């Protein structure tokens, strides 16, 4: 069953630039018209109204625009293939709660509470489009407004990624030196959260931009890339429980934790499962993140290496004395793995 959030995302996608529905909405605004459009859950929508015209005709942008010149609502099927009713008088229960003031917006909010339809209200006076799902309204923004936000977010994304790259390079050296403190880890988790939060905000804008958001999506991928996987691996490296399930749960917890707490090494240590640790307390990484950045380590091999050695430091202690142990694990070219790790460490050319 679709959640309220999923339904809102789908409704925004249907109204994004490049879609037939958005083209109709743009024509309605340009024509200084108001409109009330119900998309989906057509049986319950029709049951909540009367009069109007039964059409059952193919959906096109021009047809919707022309039909919105009449009073009442237009009813469209979920897939935007058929226009079912026009000039339809909707009568939702007036006791349904809403904070909207205008008649059209109140009707839209109540219809979205009464049914599973996405209800679109176009204000004739203010010339804005609001999408309602389950009583909650979302006002669509113009492409120029969205691009202004995009530019701000991309600057933030670039700055955060640069800081994170520098911090991760330093962390790799500290890991190979076997001297990583809680403060080092807390700073990086904070930067990861900033990066992911900005990325999520961009995702929503890209959705709303529709066909206008392709270049923005490419820039987002350039800055975030494989950081999502890197974040999960780092949590597994330092959490008391290194399972993938725990890592996903910790990511959820980090996302819901206030920035002030994420900046606190002591609080981050507690979330990772280490009570009583301070900012100078030393943590021992498993090495999953570092090993996954070595080209000769195939997908899934890092977990086998960590299971065998227990930690990155134990691997470093044993790697030269007993390379056959890596052979037994199925690691191709153990000597290249060793050289790669030492180059990361800066101990060997």
pLDDT at 326: 65
Tokens of 307: 């299971």
Average pLDDT per consecutive 10 residues, the chain (349 residues; last block may be shorter): 86 94 95 94 92 91 95 94 94 88 91 95 91 94 93 95 94 87 95 94 94 93 90 94 93 91 92 91 88 74 76 72 66 67 61
**Are 233 and 293 within 8 A, CB to CB?**
no
Domains: count for the chain: 3
The CATH number linked to 17 is 3.40.1700.10
> Are 36 and 155 part of one and the same domain?
no
**Residue range of the domain that includes 28:** 4-140
> Are 163 and 230 part of one and the same domain?
yes
> Are 182 and 300 part of one and the same domain?
no
> Are 278 and 297 part of one and the same domain?
no
3-state secondary structure of 41: coil
pLDDT at 197: 93
Burial class (CB in 10 A: 0-12, 13-18, 19+), 226: exposed
3-state secondary structure of 132: strand
> Are 79 and 192 part of one and the same domain?
no
The CATH number linked to 177 is 1.20.1260.110
pLDDT at 178: 82
The pTM is what? 0.82
């Amino acid at each position: 069953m679709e959640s309220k959030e999923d339904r809102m995302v789908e409704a925004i996608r249907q109204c994004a630039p490049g879609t037939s529905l958005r083209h109709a909405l743009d024509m309605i605004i340009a024509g200084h018209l108001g409109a009330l459009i119900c998309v989906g859950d057509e049986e319950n929508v029709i049951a909540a109204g009367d009069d109007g015209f039964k059409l059952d005709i193919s959906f096109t942008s021009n047809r919707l625009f022309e039909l919105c010149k009449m009073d009442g609502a237009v009813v469209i099927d979920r897939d935007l293939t058929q226009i079912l009713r026009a000039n339809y008088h909707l009568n939702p229960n007036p006791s349904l709660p809403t904070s909207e003031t205008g008649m059209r917006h109140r009707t839209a909010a109540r219809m979205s509470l009464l049914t599973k339809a996405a209800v679109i209200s176009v204000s004739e006076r203010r010339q804005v489009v609001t999408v309602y799902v389950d009583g909650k309204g979302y006002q669509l923004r113009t492409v120029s407004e969205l691009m202004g936000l995009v530019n701000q977010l991309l600057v933030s994304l670039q700055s955060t990624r640069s800081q994170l790259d520098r911090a991760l390079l330093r962390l790799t050296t500290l890991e190979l030196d076997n001297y990583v403190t809680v403060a080092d880890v807390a700073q990086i988790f904070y930067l990861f959260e900033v990066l992911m939060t900005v990325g999520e905000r961009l995702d929503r804008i890209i959705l709303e931009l529709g066909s206008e958001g392709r270049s923005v999506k490419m820039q987002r991928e350039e800055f975030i890339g494989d950081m999502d996987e890197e974040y999960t691996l780092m949590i597994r490296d330092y959490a008391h429980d290194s399972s993938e399930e725990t890592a996903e749960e910790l990511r959820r917890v980090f996302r819901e934790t206030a920035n002030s707490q994420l900046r606190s090494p002591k609080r981050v240590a507690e979330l990772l499962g280490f009570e009583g640790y301070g900012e100078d307390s030393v943590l021992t990484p498993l090495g999953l993140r570092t090993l996954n950045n070595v080209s000769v380590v195939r997908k899934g091999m890092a977990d086998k290496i960590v299971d065998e050695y227990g930690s990155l430091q134990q691997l470093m202690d044993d790697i030269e004395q007993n390379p056959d142990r890596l052979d037994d694990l199925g690691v191709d070219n153990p000597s290249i793995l060793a050289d790669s790790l030492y180059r990361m460490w800066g101990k060997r050319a």
